[in-house]
């Protein structure tokens, strides 16, 4: 769980994080997340999501929310495996993906 999050001036991100903070506060499950709204500090995060735009732009769009969710989750998981962000030591990318699928 992050202790702070840097977002741009987007209202949707702010509203979502505020909802998470309300849930954390009422359930006493941890410290609330400090929200930093700075225009340019989240460029690294936005650049990390460029690959999703590159892959999904040629698609014709999603007709259902559950199919969009499953497709985007798979794309992000494959990208995380490629970047080495999962804790599977000594496994190839194919083996890591297979372990997640099983």
Q: Which are the contacts of 61, defined by CB distance < 8 A and separation ≥ 6?
A: none
Q: What percent of the chain has pLDDT over 90?
A: 11
Tokens 């999962």 appear where? Answer: 86
| pLDDT at residue 76, as a whole number | 84
Q: Are 37 and 43 within 8 A, CB to CB?
A: no
Q: Are 54 and 79 within 8 A, CB to CB?
A: no
H or E stretch at 56: helix 50-56
Q: Which residue has the higher pLDDT, 20 or 11?
A: 20
Mean of the pLDDT values across residues 28-51?
A: 76
Output the six-digit token pair for 30. 């941890």
pTM of the model as a whole? 0.49
């Amino acid at each position: 769980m992050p202790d702070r999050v840097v977002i741009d001036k987007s209202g949707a991100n702010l509203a979502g994080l505020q909802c998470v903070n309300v849930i954390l506060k009422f359930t006493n499950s941890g410290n609330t997340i400090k929200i930093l709204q700075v225009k340019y500090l989240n460029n690294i995060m936005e650049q990390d999501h460029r690959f999703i735009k590159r892959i999904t732009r040629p698609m014709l769009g999603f007709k259902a929310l559950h199919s969009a969710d499953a497709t985007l989750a798979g794309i992000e998981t494959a990208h995380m495996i490629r970047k080495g962000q999962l804790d599977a030591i000594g496994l190839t990318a194919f083996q890591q993906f297979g372990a997640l699928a099983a």
